[in-house]
Amino acid sequence: MRICIVTPSLSGGGAEKVAVNLANHYAESGKDTTLLVFINKGPYKSHLSDKVKVVDLSVTRSRYAIFKLRSALLKIDPTHVVSVIRDASIVLGLVGKKGENTVFAYREANTLHGMHRLTTLKKWVYRALLKEAYKKADVVIANSEDTKEDLVKNHIIDGESIKVIRNPVIPEDLSLKLAEEADHPWMKSDEKVVLNVGRLDPQKNQKLLIDAFFKVVEKKPGTKLLILGEGEQEKPLRQQIKRLKLNHCVDLVPFQQNPFPYYQESDLFVLTSDWEGFGNILVEALACGTPIVSTDCPGGPRSILADGKYGTLVSVDDAEELADAIIGQLENSDRWDRDELVRRGLEYTVGAVAEEYLNCIKVAKTSR
């Protein structure tokens, strides 16, 4: 097998992490593995194994990659191509006829809620491109049942062509990562710390979290909130923190190469997304034994948390309910069996899930 994994970049998103995790696992296990990136930039660049071959198209926009991508694939001559994110899959679809003996697997990383926020014309074009691209795939891999159902409901592709495989999230060296310390003074205090991890993006809705936290500190002064991530919403979120006079208890921390010590040393992890394809960060929190409050948004959270067995689910975009849940968790943290949370998180190890991917692409037919 000659495996080629395609990703637009190595930025700090969940799909990029999946690309790196899969590439590292296959390369370390002796498989001929190439990571093809449109632009070889981003914090996950330093996470790559030296055994992974990297091909950099050096383009700043996905649409500029079309001609270079065709040439690169001819040189790599892969037996199996795995695209980890929708935009890369669309470009692969535009490249045209696939290799006669090459299996193409397109991973769908998210529900289609973002598409529905586009203008009518842009939505029509985007949907048409996506539908055409997925016709070229031998198999489409959805990371959750909700992601699969969204593709079927929007008539992108029929359900029989979609395989649901969870994300490969937890690294084999988790114990080494947990041996490090979280570099923030609040982690060394006796005060309760609430954690959020993710890009600062409207989808992740950290605005809701800050509104809810304003209500939390009214009832539990001294509680702290750390938000780890970077993105377009940084400025408005900082303005919101200042407006609500929360600078003393809310801090935005840049992307962390190793977030696991932050999970481990926090008292509670909170996810406030409007939708998620999967929810890698929930799995990371579980693997660290950290109690969770999550919005019951479309995507993976309900499945990962097993309908509330491994964490508290709250309504989307409800600051009052979210604040009450956070307070309730902080006051009753002993209700969770930390060892049970860890065991749940470790169901999503990179090794186990990467083998599921491998089995899927091995049996995929080169024509449907």
DSSP string, 134-151: HHT-SEEEESSHHHHHHH
pLDDT, residue 189, reads 87
Residues 158 and 229 in one domain: no
Residues 238 and 120 in one domain: no
* Contacts of residue 78, Cβ cutoff 8 Å, sequence gap at least 6: 2, 3, 4, 34, 99, 102
pLDDT, residue 366, reads 45
Residue 305 lies in a domain: yes
Residues 199 and 233 in one domain: yes
Residues 135 and 27 in one domain: yes
Residues 16 and 164 in one domain: yes
Q: Can you give the CATH number for the domain in which 56 is found?
A: 3.40.50.2000
> Which DSSP category does 202 fall into?
G
Residues 142 and 228 in one domain: no
- Between CA 249 and CA 233 the distance in angstroms is 19
Using N-to-C axis directions, what is the helix angle for 120-135 and 86-95, rounded to 10°? 60
Residue 256 lies in a domain: yes
Across residues 328-352, what is the average pLDDT? Answer: 94
At 29-40, the pLDDT tens digits run 999 999 999 999
**Has residue 359 got a pLDDT over 90?**
yes
Do 10 and 46 contact (CB within 8 A), yes or no? Answer: no
Residues 126 and 202 in one domain: no
pLDDT, residue 97, reads 56
**Has residue 99 got a pLDDT over 60?**
no
Residues 311 and 262 in one domain: yes
pLDDT, residue 84, reads 96
Weakest-pLDDT range from 309-313, 335-339, 362-366: 362-366
Residues 188 and 300 in one domain: yes
**What range does the domain containing 268 cover?**
174-348
* Contacts of residue 215, Cβ cutoff 8 Å, sequence gap at least 6: 319, 320, 323
Question: How many CB atoms are closer than 10 A to CB 148?
Answer: 20
Do 345 and 281 contact (CB within 8 A), yes or no? Answer: no
**Has residue 197 got a pLDDT over 50?**
yes
Q: What is the mean pLDDT of the chain?
A: 93
Residue 259 lies in a domain: yes
- Give the number of domains in the chain: 2
Residue 98 — pLDDT band, cuts 50, 70, 90?
low
- Between CA 137 and CA 98 the distance in angstroms is 9
Residue 278 lies in a domain: yes
What are the Cα distances from residue 41, in Å, to 47, 54, 58, 193, 303? 12, 12, 9, 32, 32
Q: How many helices and strands (H and E) does the chain possess?
A: 14, 13
The vertex-288 CA angle with 323 and 278, nearest 5°, equals 70
Residue 97 lies in a domain: yes
Residues 105 and 242 in one domain: no
At 284-317, the pLDDT tens digits run 999 999 999 999 999 999 999 999 999 999 999 9
- Between CA 331 and CA 355 the distance in angstroms is 41
Give pairs for 126-132: CB < 8 Å, separation 24+. Answer: 127/154, 127/156, 129/90, 129/93, 129/94, 130/86, 130/89, 130/90, 130/156, 131/155, 131/156, 131/157, 132/93
- Between CA 148 and CA 157 the distance in angstroms is 9
Residue 368 lies in a domain: no
At 109-135, the pLDDT tens digits run 988 998 988 999 999 999 999 999 998
Closest by CA position to 32, among listed 56, 5, 65: 5
Residues 141 and 234 in one domain: no
Closest by CA position to 203, among listed 304, 301, 309, 275: 275
- Between CA 39 and CA 253 the distance in angstroms is 25
Residue 285 lies in a domain: yes
At 46-55, the pLDDT tens digits run 999 999 999 9
Do 210 and 226 contact (CB within 8 A), yes or no? Answer: no
What are the Cα distances from residue 212, in Å, to 17, 43, 366? 29, 30, 50
Across residues 242-263, what is the average pLDDT? Answer: 96
DSSP letters for 156-168? SS-GGGEEE----
**Has residue 336 got a pLDDT over 90?**
yes
Across residues 190-199, what is the average pLDDT? Answer: 95
Across residues 249-255, what is the average pLDDT? Answer: 96
| Helix or strand holding residue 36 (H, E) | strand 32-37
Closest by CA position to 159, among listed 145, 172, 173: 145
pLDDT, residue 365, reads 60
Pairing status of strand 292-295 against strand 312-314? parallel
pLDDT, residue 100, reads 66
Residues 267 and 205 in one domain: yes
pLDDT, residue 368, reads 44
Residue 13 in tokens: 């998103």
